[in-house]
Structure 1
Amino acid sequence: MTRETRLAEVFITLADTLTQDFDATDLLHYLADACVELLSVDAAGIMLSDLRGGLKLAASSSERIHNLEVFELQVDEGPCLDCFHTGEPVVNVGIAEAKDRWPLFVDVAIDAGLKATHALPLRLRGDVVGSMNLVSDDPAPMSQPDIDLGQALADMATISLLQDRSSIAKTDLADQLQTALNNRVLIEQAKGILAARANVTPDVAFDMIRSHARSHNNKLLSDAQRIIDGSLELEPGSMAVENTARRQS
């Protein structure tokens, strides 16, 4: 499959959410994975504004960037925060050269083996509702076409996330964003439970949940909830075990 064909598929998938019931958690993880696949980056993380105007992690492509994004929020410094507050992209920042800008963030990013970072705003009609962090193990700068493509993906996902073709009330917008953030908590809980049960890493556990949901055309959140309540068991390299008796109890 050519890159152009894959690009068309991704944008069609994002556009499909405008006309059908969809899960915001699935959309955000799809966006993170698409960025890693199509852009010159190794991981992606997405933050959304919460009801108080701050940022919270909503999706990530791997445990490595998940931990980095959580740390960024804890120390209140880093590319995603700058991008969110200014509404402007932060691109082609070499980690080693950013010590004065984000001293705490840089130390952790270097320990994680990262060489470059970028952040793109999630915005709608001038309102910034979040930001997307893209990181790379390669210090080479991201090309302008890739930056433009990343912003287009972020813009399309934001429109799909908010699902409104006319105007969005501030209260409705806040509720929609908060729901996506709440769903992220359940995903993390399911990931931790499965990692402990199957004796795998959190990254592998998340891949197992995501693969099962996609292969069965399920929503990611639905499968996560079933793992939490014990009605769905997954094992590495094997079929899922449905605990129907437990689910019915």
Structure 2
Amino acid sequence: METDANDGRPVMFTTEREARIAQVVIDLVHRPADFDPLELLHDLTARAVELLPVRGASITVLDDGRVSYITASDEVCRELTENQVDLYEGPCIDSARTRKPLEPAALDERWPRFAPYAHEAGISAMAAVSLRLPQTLLGALNLFMTHLPCMGGPDLQLAQTLADTTGLTLAHRHELADKNTVLAQLQTALDSRLTIEQAKGMLAGRFGIDMDEAFARLRNHARYQQRKLSDVAAQVARGDVPDAFRPAR
């Protein structure tokens, strides 16, 4: 910060990262009226990876009192989140279950059954922030890191801001949706993720690509066609693969 020579007022300079943060917040807020909640939540994980010093991110939600995986930035984080759900142990479980954020923590002492899975994937620490509506906790944004120390207070505040922005977008879908409406939307997203996994597997097997690439192709096609990701995935899972997915000859 410098002082303006004319009137002594401070001159603020915006960094490239600050400008990108502002753009990400706008992107998370500005959605069409019929947006796909699952796509919004996936965007949250992708933007967290883009802006924070983390290896990956995932979303867990409270579903009838149980913690459920809903989406992740990549296959590694998806598998590690599902490992925690299966074991019912890990930072993703604790953060959603206790309804509290989790500061960066090493894994071995607190989650000894989950820790070996994480270490095998190169993850040595995790953190989480709350995903919530103004009056209701939905779940958590989970952050995967390769080393400690890894994130400071400002990074966690940014993660919480991204999660809060996403929660507000969910809450204001079709103006002011009530709690039950938003939870119904999340249930639809939970159901859709299974179809998306089937579609990813079909594309991966047919075209010899990995699951992350398969998801990217689904996502890109949905955006190009201006369709919901879940609708495109359902089409592919039925075996109706559009020509756009086929490799060029």
Alignment TM class, shorter chain as reference: 0.7 to 0.9
Q: CA deviation at 1:153?
A: 0.6
AA partner of residue 41 (structure 1): V
Give distance in 2, aligned partners of 1:4 and 1:121.
22
Deviations 1:20-78 (A, max 9, x none): 2211111011111000001111111101222x221211111111010000010011111
Of 91, 100, 103 in structure 1, the residue corresponding to residue 103 of structure 2 is: 91
Q: CA deviation at 1:87?
A: 1.9
The SS at the match of 2:185 is helix
Of 207, 210, 213 in structure 2, the residue corresponding to residue 204 of structure 1 is: 213
Q: Extract unaligned runs of 5+ from structure 1.
A: 240-249
Does residue 20 of structure 2 align to residue 10 of structure 1?
no
Q: CA RMSD in A?
A: 2.1
Kept in 1, the 8 Å contact 2:131–2:164? The answer is: yes
Deviations 1:100-137 (A, max 9, x none): 31111111101111122111111223421111111022
Give distance in 2, aligned partners of 1:228 and 1:216.
17
AA partner of residue 242 (structure 2): L
Provide the identity percentage: 36
Give distance in 2, aligned partners of 1:188 and 1:101.
30
Q: Extract unaligned runs of 5+ from structure 2.
A: 1-14
Report the equivalent of 1:159. 168
Report the equivalent of 1:245. none
Give distance in 2, aligned partners of 1:13 and 1:121.
20
Give distance in 1, aligned partners of 2:177 and 2:74.
34
TM-score with structure 1 setting the length:
0.85
Report the equivalent of 1:242. none
AA partner of residue 232 (structure 1): P
Of 33, 49, 52 in structure 1, the residue corresponding to residue 46 of structure 2 is: 33
Taking a change above 3 Å as real, the CA distance of residues 74 and 231 of structure 1, as seen in their structure-2 partners, is same
Give distance in 2, aligned partners of 1:105 and 1:20.
39
The SS at the match of 2:114 is helix
Of 95, 108, 113 in structure 2, the residue corresponding to residue 104 of structure 1 is: 113
Does residue 190 of structure 2 align to residue 181 of structure 1?
yes
Q: CA deviation at 1:84?
A: 1.2
Kept in 2, the 8 Å contact 1:93–1:116? The answer is: yes
Taking a change above 3 Å as real, the CA distance of residues 123 and 231 of structure 1, as seen in their structure-2 partners, is same
